[in-house]
Structure 1
């Protein structure tokens, strides 16, 4: 996963996922502009293997996180991956996916669980935790998070994603998760923290 090399930063090229816009508006009599990105909404799933009492996450290399870890003066030309190792861009997240098909959110969530983590789950087992806006300064996309309980018998593949996805499935005990979220700097998105704290508050006795 962390064998990343030949890293070069370039201006935005043609993208099927990102559409940049500038919004012009008047607020309290003041003319303003705001740059933003149009992106797909998404789903995320917090998986709890109740048989072993572990939470199931995914680990992957996130280019924006890696980019944000590199000082501006070193972002030109090819990035020195010895000076800035790829581990700087690896995050721990919930299983998740884009809403980019004509299907219900639970159905998309079910498919993501199978593709990324290898569990075959019924749609009825997905419990909605909530929906919220992410990246409100630039994106404002809607993410919907579900909670789902699984067992070893529901594991039908190793997961790891499809196509060019490179995903590592990670299982953590509840004490390990508690210790992880108590770090000073957590290499995970806010949605991860939201779901984990929801679990600790609602499911841990």
Structure 2
């Protein structure tokens, strides 16, 4: 996963996922501007394997996390990967995916669970947790979280994503997860923390 080389940084090129804009507005009599992006909405799933009592997550390399970890003075057109190894950009996340099809959110979540984690679940196994704003400072996109219990019998592939995706499936016990979120620095997005705390508050007695 971290066998990455020839990392270069360029100005934004053509993108099918990101559309940058500048908003102009007047607030309390003051003229203001705000740069923002429009991106796809998304789904995320807290997956709990009840056969072995483990939570199922994914690891993947996130270029934005990698770039943000590098000090400003070293964010040059070509990144020194010996000084800043790609592994610093690998995050632990919930199974998730963008809403880019005209199907229900549950159907998208079901597809993501199969593609990323290898579980083929009945769609009625998905319990909606809730929807919330993601990236409030830049995109304001909507993410919808679900909860799903799976068994080993539902596992039909190793997962890992589709096409050129490189995703590692990670299983953690509840104690391991508690220890992970108790760290001073957690290399996971806020939705991960929300999902885990929801799970601990609502599913663990």
- 1:24 is displaced (CA, Å) by 0.7
Q: TM-score, normalised by structure 2?
A: 0.99
- 1:77 is displaced (CA, Å) by 2.5
CA distance in 1, matches of 2:96, 2:77: 32
Any stretches of 5+ residues in structure 1 without a counterpart?
none
- 1:75 is displaced (CA, Å) by 1.2
- 1:74 is displaced (CA, Å) by 1.1
1:165 aligns with 2:165: yes
1:32 aligns with 2:12: no
CA distance in 2, matches of 1:66, 1:173: 27
What's 2:105 paired with? Answer: 105
What's 1:73 paired with? Answer: 73
What's 1:177 paired with? Answer: 177
Q: Which runs of structure 1 show a deviation greater than 4 angstroms over 4 or more consecutive aligned residues?
A: none
CA distance in 2, matches of 1:53, 1:203: 12
Aligned length: 205
CA distance in 1, matches of 2:21, 2:77: 27
Any stretches of 5+ residues in structure 2 without a counterpart?
none
Q: TM-score, normalised by structure 1?
A: 0.99
What's 1:190 paired with? Answer: 190
CA offsets, 1:146-182, max 9 Å, x none?
0000000000000000011000000000000000000
